[in-house]
Structure 1
Amino acid sequence: MKKLVNFIFLFAFVISGVSAQNKIVHDLKIQGNKKLKSSFVKSISSIKSGSILDSTIIEQDILRLKRLPSVSHAYYQVFPSDDNQYNVFYNIEENFTLIPSANIFTTDNDEFAYRLGLYEFNALGRNITFGGFYQKDIYDSYAINFRAPYLFSNKVGLAINFQDLTTQEPVFFDNTSSNYKYNNKSIEVLGLYEFNFSNRLEFGINYFVEDYQYKFGATNPNVPQELNVHKWLAKGIYEYNKLDYFYQYVSGFKSQFNFQYVTSTNDMLPDFFIGWNDFFLFKRVGEKGNWANRLRLGISTNDETPFAPFSVDNNLNIRGVGNTIDRGTGAIVLNTEYRQTLIEKGWFVLQGNAFIDAGSWRNPGGDFGDFSKDDNIKVYPGLGLRFIHKKIYNAIFRIDYGVGVTPNSSKGFVFGIGQYF
């Protein structure tokens, strides 16, 4: 019995000794922020007053902060307080977050379209994004977007999107095509949930109306010249994110999986599913180089329809190819580019890039052999420039020129705000 009592006292002494060695956070202090609320930074941080001082957790907090649109850079400092307690300081360099956006794209077919927008990425100092855009692509379009990833807690948020999008869309059938005035009016509500530092989920519904009106081109009795269809869409996005940012440089890996199931009230546009996964890999090369890669693998219901969901487009996947030149029910697209910092003076960076965009599509109703057909393969190498402001969120003005090297190719400029991917 005496041995048991001695063992209990010895065990208690060892445990108390170990506990005494733990360094405790006395207070978390936020410095350098002006618009971003300190209370918000503390609410999304894992380090709290009274918690054990852990550099691994602190470094994850810093990475999370650097991913916020309102933060251009962040770092931490630790100073002793008293009684084995420490003050932790999160130092923040803020971005300017009221940002205009612009995308302009042309091809050698004299196509010209643009999108102009204005977004606030740090509304109320709580990382809330609110804004909208106007687009001119033959017809007028607009959208309004709201996104608050930490609206209800440090894990739960909400996004609401409305758009009235009108474009001239090609419809492909019988080895020919026609052009339709296409309108998509939609309202979308998404719940946002962050499991942990690297994993997050979006899920919700979208109600939309699609309207097709024939304009010119080939006709077929089996292809209607007018369609107005009401649809519901269930949507889910799962993201695994291990990216790290240092101003214009990115390193690490990210995977984003999108899945949608669409119901329709018209047999001409039947119910279908569509899913795709984007894999991103970024690597620093020396002090001024950055190698960037995106691989998209996508598949959908393989209906033989002229209204297939995957498109080949300048602004989405292949720079220089043109505005929606083809459609398919499956897609394999690889974008790879090398970015080199040419000039860096204070807030300004001039970056050059060389890229190759390549992809292939499965024809509606076709098989997987379509991916290897010459007519479906697009390869576009090119060069570009980036004009970057390091203190304004996403203030990257890009110019790219892509030239097709596969049969029946085009070439053209693509202008925009932000990196292509």
Structure 2
Amino acid sequence: MFSIKKISLILLYLSSFSAFAMEKTFNKIEFLGNNRTEESVLNLIVEINSGDKFQTEKLEKAVQQLKNTHLFSKVEVSITGDKDDSNKIDVKFNLEEKWAIIPVPIAYSAGGVSRYGVALMDYNFLGRFYQLTNYFYLQNSKPNFGSTFVNNFTFNLPLISVLSFNYVDNKNTIYNKNKEVGYYSVNLIQLEGDMIWKFNDYINLGAGLKYENAGNVNNELSNDEKIKNTQNGIEKPKSFDNLAFVGKGGLGKIDHDSYLAQGAQLSSTVTSTAGMYQGNDNEDYTKFENTFLAYYKMKLYNHTNFALRIQHGQSNSKNLIRKMYLGADQIRGFQSMQYSGNEAIYSNVEVRQTVYEGNYVSLQVVPFFDVGYIGSDFGNAINNQSLMSYGVGLRLPLMQLAGLIVRMDYGFAVTPENQSGFSFGLSQFF
């Protein structure tokens, strides 16, 4: 097969013999090895049409866009000149498909919280590159379920539409500022719909609506747990039933090549009731979430990824259900939801070093470092808490299954106190 570099050399050679080399155009676009995805959708993904001016940059981008779908284990491209017109270039994408419909076991354990269940994930629903995920799991023996649908080309436009439903039945262990234990339980229903416009590969902007209903608060607590809450000053969260506006934005791009990634992206979300519930039993609130992700494929070490996440969140809510929490889900080695506040920032750094790569499974050794800061007022350091941990983990990317990676981490917390914990999941930590 021709590589992109070989294609460039061929074009350079042809340009020395043809005064019309700059007028070469794409002709036929074929996708070989594709059995599950509509060709009209693949054409939207590669962004190449018959009659477009031929550019090697477009081919490079098209190959990467196909890899970013996670639908193919191999993507190669070859070109030939049309037999009747040498200025017309035929393109063939040679593809090997992954399994796109995957029953995925949900297995997560960290910091005193365990989740076990199953999700049915279809990365190519109806052959239209829709993503459909349905899940059911038990979190500490409580049932949770939901569904998410994503249309990446709504109306055949660069418009992403997302619909999601979640039912949460949780009983959580939390801690006050004196590290005294408390509890709350809640049944939470969430419905959200968003529309996101992709201006180009690097900028997107969207909006949506989110409905939330929280009920049966603390109904699952025992009398001893309620007494413990009273002794330690843990207030009962209020139930709520409200509608909020959602704004979303993204800047940057991350490219994927199997289990490796390259690039950087900043994503921001604001959720606000926008004053609709003043004087109502429901609480008005505004929440900001910002996530920066960066990945770098280290050239000195084969198939090794440097990975960085920086996450910031802020909520003006006084309700325990809507506060910010830092624990095992964010910083490994701690208990789940061990620290709370109205503002939090944390970062995770990993070096994902591949020590074995096979056709069906690979192995990565991953040293990591996590750090965080949380409080109710970042300007008053006395009431805030710093967290830090380090550790090592293993990753087992399953090469023929889209997006499935077995993760095992062990973290050692060093600030504010020494403790440790095991973390397990079926995807990368971030």
TM-score (norm 1): 0.86
Of the candidates 406, 409, 412, which is equivalent to residue 421 of structure 2?
Answer: 412
**1 CA distance for matches of 2:246 and 2:124?**
26
- Cα distance, 1:328 vs. partner? 1.6
**Aligned counterpart, 1:13:** none
Deviations along 1:50-99, whole A, 9 cap, x unmatched?
11111222222222221113233423222111321110122223221122
Deviations along 1:382-416, whole A, 9 cap, x unmatched?
11111112221112111111111113453221111
**Aligned counterpart, 1:314:** 328
Of the candidates 216, 230, 233, which is equivalent to residue 241 of structure 2?
Answer: 230
After the TM superposition, which residues 309-388 of structure 1 pair with which residues of structure 2 at under 5 Å, given as runs?
Answer: 309-315=323-329, 317-363=330-376, 366-370=377-381, 376-388=385-397
Of the candidates 282, 290, 295, which is equivalent to residue 305 of structure 2?
Answer: 290
Shift in CA distance, 344/44, structure 1 to aligned 2, threshold 3 Å: closer
Of the candidates 400, 403, 413, which is equivalent to residue 394 of structure 1?
Answer: 403
Shift in CA distance, 48/265, structure 1 to aligned 2, threshold 3 Å: same
Aligned residue pairs, count: 397
Whether contact under 8 Å (1:27, 1:50) holds in the other structure is: no
Of the candidates 84, 88, 95, which is equivalent to residue 85 of structure 1?
Answer: 88
- Cα distance, 1:174 vs. partner? 7.0
Deviations along 1:267-317, whole A, 9 cap, x unmatched?
67631211122111211222132111111123332x5554453111323x1
Of the candidates 392, 401, 412, which is equivalent to residue 403 of structure 1?
Answer: 412
**Aligned-partner SS, 2:380:** helix
RMSD of aligned residue pairs (Cα, Å): 2.6
**Aligned-partner SS, 1:187:** strand
**2 CA distance for matches of 1:102 and 1:150?**
29
Residue identity in the other structure for 2:135: F
- Cα distance, 1:420 vs. partner? 0.8
Residue identity in the other structure for 2:238: L
**2 CA distance for matches of 1:268 and 1:355?**
44
**2 CA distance for matches of 1:40 and 1:341?**
33
Shift in CA distance, 331/76, structure 1 to aligned 2, threshold 3 Å: same
Residue identity in the other structure for 1:298: G
Of the candidates 159, 164, 167, which is equivalent to residue 161 of structure 1?
Answer: 164
Whether contact under 8 Å (1:146, 1:161) holds in the other structure is: yes
**Aligned counterpart, 2:190:** 186
**Aligned counterpart, 1:12:** none
**Aligned counterpart, 2:145:** 142
**1 CA distance for matches of 2:55 and 2:185?**
58
Of the candidates 119, 122, 146, which is equivalent to residue 120 of structure 1?
Answer: 122
**Aligned counterpart, 1:253:** 264
Residue identity in the other structure for 1:361: I
Residue identity in the other structure for 1:141: N
Whether contact under 8 Å (1:230, 1:264) holds in the other structure is: no
Whether contact under 8 Å (2:196, 2:248) holds in the other structure is: no
**Aligned counterpart, 1:213:** 218
Residue identity in the other structure for 2:127: G
Structure 1 portions without partners, runs of 5+ = 1-16
TM-score (norm 2): 0.84
